[in-house]
Structure 1
Amino acid sequence: MKKAILIGFVMLLVTSLPTFAQFEQRKRSRERIDRMIQANKDREDAERASETGAPALPKPKAAVMNVDVQVVLSGKEFKTFAEAKPSAISKVADGTPLWLYIKFNGKLGDYVFTTPNPEEPGKLKYLLFAEIGPQGDVTALNQYLLQFSKEDLAAIELKINLAPGLFGRNKSMPVFLTSAADRKPGVWNNEFRLANSPGLPRSPTAHLAKTNLALDLAGGPAKYRQMNTEYDSIILRGTADVTKMPVPGTFFSDPLKSQITGKLNTEGITPAKFYFSGDDWTTFSVGSMMSMKQNRKVFATYTYQKGENCFYGVAEILQTYNSFESKYGESTINLTKDFPITCAELN
């Protein structure tokens, strides 16, 4: 109820801003909204900790943007941040491969946003927020949630592929491709941002790091659009070739499995083998500044037989976050099926 009241008050503040207010006035209002949301969250976290006797959650280390955390974009793969820095780029053409290098003054664990895992009580989630937005603007085109394990927190650098995608946990993320694939022909002056606070929009300096990234799409984004189309296949299989079955992951959910098998049964499919692909939900946000919708998705693979022929299929499970109820909504399940396999692969 408190969250609903807060959100209502926040929306009242936003809608009451003068239509032709100056940028600085809008920025101060947004910063005030961010502080209110964060203060409310801190208060709720403290109340929960007091009720349960749990220790307070660690706070990220204070950071000066582009000093304590640095990012470099490159069109080539290098082993380290230091090797990539001399080859830094700030502009790409359609289809250019893109790599992100992140260096921490200290270690990753100093800067992550830590929050309880609602689906695994007693466990914590360690997060960073990556986004693409217009240069010099507070708005964001989309956002992607980087999720880390406790074992990851000792890292002093990260290397992440942004295009075309790479198989493996946290080896790549689609935040750049989903933005580039939707652009119209032209030159788009965007920037990549990395933050450790969930609130949107953020003030121009409320990031760990950011760097310019112009998109020269004079001929349109056909190559990036194709990369974006193939991205899910690459992170599931390591290839865009859909004749290869997805690799099993460590994620598992009994409720989701029941929902998927129920939908398959309504289509006359009884799975012979079933497994989830990937190690966790993929969490991302798209939309306009004040209506950014947070979604998450995960994939499952199933095999089945029809007559003397054997097949596999993939289920995509999508959920959208409901801010008023503070939880994800019902699952939307999309099935792709009838990919031929040998019957030796059935079980």
Structure 2
Amino acid sequence: MKPLSRRAAEPESAAFPTRPYDLLKEFTVALVAVALLTAGLAALFSSPDDKPVTLAAWSAAAPNDFTATAVAELGATSTTAQYGPPYNDTPGAGQRIGPLGLQRAAGVRIPVDTAEDFVLRPLRQAPEPADVTAALAAWSAAPTDQQQMWTAAYSDALGKAPDGDPAQVAHGDYGPVPVLTGRLLTLAQAGGLDGQLLAQGHFYQTDYTKPLLFLADGTYLAGLADGQHLSGDQWGMMNETGNYPGQAWLWLYTFWYQVDPFKTSTNADALIWALMAVLSLGLVLVPFIPGVRSVPRWTKVYRLIWRDHYRQQR
């Protein structure tokens, strides 16, 4: 048998250059480098970890604002009470596109009775002194017109008091309203109101709709947003507080809120939703629109994108 030559006997890989490779060393170096880079960038550009805003924090930091908001919830004059669907069936409330009322078409999906859910039920569920029990009974026994007169009078008196301080409100016929709102303030400052609003009708305390609506009806949360430049007077959108990038892919949607007639319209949400629906449909139908679908062929942009291919052809 003819002996194999040395070249033929060598493995095929020997014909190519080789070098030692330490996979463990490579992994270790990459891991350390990425860890140091991550820690450094996090220290320089990380988002602030602000504590969540709770009813307890609000009532402690701005008790007068909390009391004024509680009066508005009790008298059904707050933003939430008059918002309409999906929270309540307030006549005439809700955004629309022409004759089509979008909110009313969807209906009331998250029923919220601000007086009952935010004030009365939490007070009934908490251990109450005798004066609060009597105040709850007096409120329940009074007709709706009388309840509204009490809350309107007390709201006006709070507005005239120095700094809206309930302790400096002038004497008047406010019925049981001062007792109810005063007890609610005490309950909120003790931290009990947060848990009660979370637990209403739910086993798992993960639905923050009611606490958030209550917070949003006051001025405290809006003041925090102003302090972080998040009140909506700046263009753009962000998902965390501070001067950090947010959802850049939403720029086209948020852009319309900065221009007329949307920025001054009470139907801005509905109008912008309709506009974006039309634009999205137009984007989907681009291949079927005569003239528009021919723009790439006329401009020959595709030759720029696939320039390597056309260069090789030449």
Alignment TM-score, normalising by the size of structure 1: 0.18
| Higher CA-based Rg | 2
Question: Which has the larger share of helix?
Answer: 2
Alignment TM-score, normalising by the size of structure 2: 0.20
